[in-house]
Structure 1
């Protein structure tokens, strides 16, 4: 019996354990920290061996294959030792994809991937397809492969998940954009991070498709230098394309094969340039799967959007509060500030991943009237913007940040939580940060 060892007892770990057990593996789950109660119950119920708050090496090094949680960096000593012993270390995505014949749409990128994933899933579901959604969001992909019988999956894929693939092959791959992010995991080498994103297409064949942002210089340069077997399907809001999707005035035009399809961007529920791009990517993927244009148009105009992504929370005394906690890098915050039409009180800060805030300077000058810092170390933010913004206040929690913003704000202003940083200094994750912000707003 083959032994599957799983490092990390979170969503992807437990899902992989369920699938591994179903496929006849001897399964062992090991987590260096606590395993959440809801996951422990599943392991006990399924009679899966596990440990928490430690890694017992002699129970790990006898593995035939190891699935590691995307949160564990490759450079950790344990992982390096496994690799040097010739033990295969893979991601949940790799493990689960071996056991499904379903069509896979894989979506990666520094920003926009959650919205594009949810939007694509929304369109395909509305078209009557039997389709699951997973990867970096929602329920574990492996668990769905074990327990559901979907004909297709829309998977949001982080670079960490793609680092652990060998044979994984999506029929349709989407790269929304590539900007410097998570560089702390890639030895501060942007090229390594780019290569990681492009792993999404490494096993694709000429029968498959790669949908990508043709306005993104980083993506274009990589495609010029590296052979890609999949059929290239570009989208752009800057130039006219013979094939793919582009913008003409305020209309999205898609051209695949001989058909041309036109839709007005005023119909999109999600506004802003980046959302036009997300809509283009989702539309192209849906058209490649032969979804009717009518269904696509309806879906784009009734899509709700992702939680914690430019989510309008409340209007209090004429001040709009917006939760963009999912903006964990500078580029995401750039999009958010670009969408702001009112004078903005910007709540920013957290764990800095080597951020360069200078890209935001023109937008901050134009739109931001005050900055409220939300992090343990705000030095860089203060140094960057102290000569541009008159009011900069440091706070140590969502409640305090909202109170301060509420004091500064006047009727007609907006308060925007768009941290441009990870959340782990004061919060469990960006969802926790977003929820606490919303709670604080409701308690004003």
Structure 2
């Protein structure tokens, strides 16, 4: 057992540890913590052990205690450690009461930060963080480094700990839910942008901004911060930076960071030297927002990897699933899956990626964010709008109340299901048209996450005759 794993074992051995929920990462860790000698309690809204399906057998085998049902948070009392899942609101009173009583409240990603022996690069933001995180990981891989990729991007990091060596690099996507309680920051921190999001979960916009700032607040020099220049909130984070702060921007030249030059070259300016490193025409990623993601990723690794690694990845990488992902061409109509469009700003970026008006499928779960900014973009970039879900009427209201709607010729239809939405979109399409799923909304009204939503859309489209 390596040193860091030994330290984790010393933390949990003989301790009373409560896990909130049995998600994918917690299922792995519960078994590990029992093996390390912890007395584990699983706290979950489910009413009985049988409600856990196939995991019920593991619960019985491990002999863990259960605190279930309406009063599942009663299980927080008397614990030495509580592992919070990102979806559990940090400021709920039972959790704060446990902290006041001396319980260590932490999470899988926080424990990884505590014990990780290698350099950590962290990325957060309202939009663009998954593509930026993925690009950074591929830059390091192209440079020959062993990369541990995880966090909000899908893979739990703490179970990787036994395989992490000091010379490796961990590249971590961090959501506001993960950051809100963190007390350690990565050596290299990227904040792509901050726009209204998750306001159904956070008390207000300020709490959301403060959660994002945690990626910077606990850095220890020498460190690096990459901030989006075009976003007012990220620009305001400069006083939080403790190391070498650089910008990324698509719209301005800068003498401190990565930018898109007027001649179409992506450049890096640092220490008085401007280095062109990639031509925009050679980039395979669709959309101007992805130019920004490339600039952010390059600014993060500049000086850490050879320029050749950045050039190789930048000219070959075609994107991440559910992000303006081509699905198929049928009857001359091209279908795209942009299910990552969980907010208006994401959908706006997707719409701007095309040089023609599209047929848009939008709507979903309501996160209580404003849709007025989406309205002019829909009018400018959409010919037919198919709406579904709880936000469908809200999007329609914002679009119809815009002064340019009457003259736009935009048609609006409503669908009950994804199947219905695809059928309506297909019926409205002519050869040469583009149909894109980019909901500007979360998925939780019908799907557990945007990935499941995107895969259902792709399945339906691929089964069309």
TM-score for both structures, normalised by structure 2? 0.88
Shift in Å, 1:82: 2.1
Residue aligned with 1:339, SS: coil
Aligned counterparts of 1:392 and 1:160: Cα–Cα separation in 2: 35
Shift in Å, 1:42: 6.4
Conserved? CA contact 2:389–2:445, under 8 Å: yes
Q: Does 1:409 align with 2:409?
A: no
Aligned match of 2:178 in 136, 161, 177?
161
Aligned counterparts of 1:100 and 1:22: Cα–Cα separation in 2: 20
Q: 2:399: which partner in 1? A: 385
Shift in Å, 1:236: 1.3
Q: Does 1:97 align with 2:113?
A: yes
Moved more, 426-435 or 148-157: 148-157
Q: 2:130: which partner in 1? A: 114
Q: Does 1:295 align with 2:306?
A: no
Q: Does 1:204 align with 2:219?
A: yes
Matches of residues 348-427 of structure 1 in structure 2 within 5 Å?
Answer: 348-376=362-390, 378-386=392-400, 387=405, 388=408, 390-427=410-447
Relative to 1, partners in 2 of residues 1:337 and 1:65: Cα closer, same or farther, differing over 3 Å? same
Relative to 1, partners in 2 of residues 1:199 and 1:370: Cα closer, same or farther, differing over 3 Å? same
Q: 2:288: which partner in 1? A: 273
Aligned counterparts of 1:391 and 1:219: Cα–Cα separation in 2: 37
Aligned match of 1:8 in 21, 33, 37?
21
Aligned counterparts of 2:207 and 2:458: Cα–Cα separation in 1: 36
Shift in Å, 1:127: 1.4
Relative to 1, partners in 2 of residues 1:203 and 1:337: Cα closer, same or farther, differing over 3 Å? same
Conserved? CA contact 2:379–2:410, under 8 Å: no
Shift in Å, 1:94: 1.1
Shift in Å, 1:231: 1.8
Shift in Å, 1:182: 0.6
Aligned counterparts of 2:202 and 2:174: Cα–Cα separation in 1: 17
Moved more, 4-13 or 116-125: 4-13
Residue aligned with 2:323, SS: coil
Q: 1:194: which partner in 2? A: 209
Conserved? CA contact 1:131–1:153, under 8 Å: yes
Aligned match of 2:352 in 322, 327, 338?
338
Residue aligned with 2:130, SS: helix
Conserved? CA contact 1:17–1:48, under 8 Å: no
Q: 1:135: which partner in 2? A: 151
Relative to 1, partners in 2 of residues 1:57 and 1:246: Cα closer, same or farther, differing over 3 Å? closer
Residue aligned with 1:357, SS: coil
Q: Does 1:173 align with 2:194?
A: no
Q: Which runs of 5+ in 2 are unaligned?
A: 1-13
Conserved? CA contact 2:360–2:385, under 8 Å: yes
Aligned counterparts of 1:58 and 1:185: Cα–Cα separation in 2: 22
Relative to 1, partners in 2 of residues 1:100 and 1:377: Cα closer, same or farther, differing over 3 Å? closer
Shift in Å, 1:87: 2.1
Q: Which runs of 5+ in 1 are unaligned?
A: none
Conserved? CA contact 1:350–1:419, under 8 Å: yes
Shift in Å, 1:279: 0.5
Matches of residues 197-276 of structure 1 in structure 2 within 5 Å?
Answer: 197-223=212-238, 226-249=239-262, 250-257=264-271, 260-262=274-276, 263-276=278-291
RMSD value over aligned CA atoms?
A: 2.3
Deviations 1:212-244 (A, max 9, x none): 111211111232xx4421221111122222221
Q: 1:185: which partner in 2? A: 201
Shift in Å, 1:390: 3.7
Conserved? CA contact 1:103–1:152, under 8 Å: yes
Relative to 1, partners in 2 of residues 1:419 and 1:102: Cα closer, same or farther, differing over 3 Å? same
Residue aligned with 2:309, SS: helix
Conserved? CA contact 1:347–1:371, under 8 Å: yes
Question: How many equivalent pairs are there?
Answer: 438
Shift in Å, 1:21: 4.6
